[in-house]
Amino acid sequence: MPTQTDDDLALLRSSLREFFAEHYRTGDLAECDPTSEHSGTVWKPLTEQLALSGLHIPEDYGGQGYGFEELGVALEESGRVLLRSPFFASTCLAANLLLNIADEPARQDYLPGIASGTVTATVTAGESAGIWSAEPSDVVFDDDSGTLSGTRNAVLDGATADVLIVSARHADGGQVLAVVERDTPGLVVEPLQTLDFSRPQAAVEFDRTRARRLEVPNPVDVLARTYDQAVSCLAAESAGAARACVDMAVDYAKQRIQFGKAIGGFQSIKHTCADLLVEVELSTSAAIAAMQAAGNGDDLTTASSVAKSSVSETFLRVAEANIQIHGGIGFTWEHDAHLYLRRAASAALLLGDAAQHRNRLADRFGTS
């Protein structure tokens, strides 16, 4: 893995910010059909010019070979602009799961395409209010026929992914992981109308759908690690979006003149902006720690839940405050503020809400 300095990370952040400023406009999401496919106008240059989809995938599989710290920077910057792309599902869910298993043929078959961006993928696991279940019951894998049967709702990028990695219950008990390719007969997907225009989801039905069973002796452990990594990635992405809200609010407070002075000079606005910045800094620190734990394995479960419970609540608060500071214009469809509130509300529930993660921490340390 290449060694990165703070200057290298700052350069990565700067390059991504410049790229998004040139190639992506957050406000376009307001006119986007939530059920439509991702726009290739961003994904293609993002993967070809910056190789973002393979940032942390090892070079043996066509990736850049960096680590979770670099991935965290990329997620913060993609969250900052509410990037609508396969990046989260494909790189943070599917690629991580494949890297967590020892099925080398499957790695060789799927990781190079994910790394190059020519193949998009996602993961669908049984859930209990956002927390991935160790005993999925809604989708069943039959060994004799090699098929999946059942339904899943709210699958990230489920309508557009080329490859779906499915956690399913074995017909004889236990859990299996299986891969379904997009055009497989018996796979039915229905795009869903979602609150967050930037995060497409779909209902997926498996009707005796042929699937490739992955050689994974410990699927429960693999799903648990992949889940914790995904939670950490979501926290990093949300931290970037939260910071964008604070920057947006502060910029407006400097420009909006009321009673002969910028509203940022009034104590109520000034103190609110200061408090929001402190919250974002604290939650961003938790997200950075979680991404570091994702890379080095240091108590990832604890770090990811701390980050998720902190960042998701902070993001929702600053997104709401951003609208309030903007006043009337903040409530309009034409302004980007509502797009950040939509993402904040969606991200707060995705992969478990803050209360669930605090309960998870309490259970882990025996204080519930």
On the question of pLDDT at 4 being above 80, the answer is: no
Identify the pLDDT of residue 3: 54
Lowest mean pLDDT, pick from 150-154, 238-242, 266-270, 327-331: 266-270
Q: What is the mean pLDDT of residues 104-131?
A: 92
Supply the mean pLDDT for the chain.
91
pTM for the whole thing? 0.94
Query: What are 69-87's pLDDT values in tens digits?
Result: 999 999 999 999 999 999 9
CATH topology of domain 121-216: Butyryl-CoA Dehydrogenase, subunit A; domain 2 (2.40.110)
- The predicted-structure confidence for 190-203, as pLDDT tens digits, reads as follows 999 999 999 999 99
CATH 1.20.140.10 segments of the chain: 220-364
361, 307 Cβ separation under 8 angstroms:
no
Provide mean pLDDT across the span 135-161: 91
Pairing of strands 261-262, 147-156: unpaired
Topology at the third CATH level for domain 220-364: Butyryl-CoA Dehydrogenase, subunit A; domain 3 (1.20.140)
Which of 41-50, 308-317, 342-351 is predicted with the least confidence, judged by mean pLDDT?
Answer: 41-50
pLDDT (mean) for 124-140? 81
What's the pLDDT at 188? 96
C-alpha–C-alpha distance, residues 283 and 347, integer Å: 14
What homologous superfamily is domain 6-116 in, according to CATH? Acyl-CoA dehydrogenase/oxidase, N-terminal domain (1.10.540.10)
Task: Label residue 239 by pLDDT band (50, 70, 90).
Answer: very high
Q: Catalogue the E-assigned strands of the chain.
A: 121-124, 127-128, 131-132, 139-142, 147-156, 163-170, 175-181, 187-191, 201-210, 212-213, 257-258, 261-262
Pair 196, 106: CB distance under 8 Å: no
